[in-house]
Amino acid sequence: MEGITAFSFWELITAVLTALSLLMAVAAFFINERRRIAIDAAMRGAPGRRRLGMFDLAHGDVSANLSQRHLTVPERLWTYDNFYLDRFAKAASAVRLPDQRTALATYVGPTLGWDIVFAAGLGLFIAFLEFGAATVLLPYPLLSGFLSFCAAMGVVYGAADIAEDLKLASILKDWESAQEREKPKKIHIDGGEAAAANALTRIKIVAITLSVVGILVFVVLSGIGAVVYGRPHGPTSASHQGDLPTATG
């Protein structure tokens, strides 16, 4: 009888933690989504330009993709380097959002900050949900083992996403400081730092996909966000993306 009571109590605690983690992730996502859409609009430049896709810098004619599409935040790309980060930073610092902050300041500050909250919430939600399900399904070793693996991927996703956000914030803040100190302005982003950030991005993408539940939640939230927020107002000044250095694939 004590074993049953203890097990039921553990299920209750797991359910509460799962719900709180999901609430944390959903709240952070929607608090941040308006900023992300506004940054996208600022980076678009000419109306109708399509955003760089996840793999557009990983294959094909990278220069053509960069000239034909507008820049996006690096965490949405499978491949980026120090040249792309410098290009993105210059373009984002050249446009202002409706609140008069530059797109770069908005991205480095509140956007990446809230993304850390989102990553922590979603990572914990995946881990609690799938680990809890795995324990219930212990009599079925294959299914339980698969769910345990997915739960572990949730933890890996959360850790990688948080590390990626911190790394990108550090890189871009250093870039801003270097631009203020030195003239003429040159590329100041280190290739090794950019490679480390890109590696974290790839780990994040693979881990959230392998978690199964995580990618489903992200797709659903993104769809709802697109419907709720729609298209925001454009930037208050134009960026000149064509004058910036070309990223390497």
Q: Is residue 248 part of a domain?
A: no
- Cβ neighbours for 180, distance < 8 A, ≥ 6 positions apart: none
Q: What pLDDT score was predicted for residue 47?
A: 64
Report the C-alpha gap between 154 and 213 in whole angstroms.
9
CA distance 219 to 203: 18
**Structure confidence at residue 184 (pLDDT):** 54
**Which tens digits make up the pLDDT trace of 51-74?**
888 998 988 888 888 888 889 999
Domain assignment present for residue 249? The answer is: no
Buried b (16+ CB within 10 A) or exposed e, 106-134: bbbeebbebbbbbbbbbbbbbbbbbbbbb
User: Measured at the alpha carbon of residue 170, what is the angle toward residues 165 and 176, in degrees to the nearest 5?
Assistant: 125
The answer to whether residue 155 is domain-embedded is yes
For residue 124, being part of any structural domain is answered with yes
| Interval 119-174: pLDDT, tens | 999 999 999 999 999 988 999 999 999 999 999 999 999 999 999 999 999 999 99
Please state the domain count of the chain: 1
Domain containing residue 170: 2-243
Find where tokens 């410098």 sit.
Answer: 86
For residue 36, tell me if it sits in a domain: yes
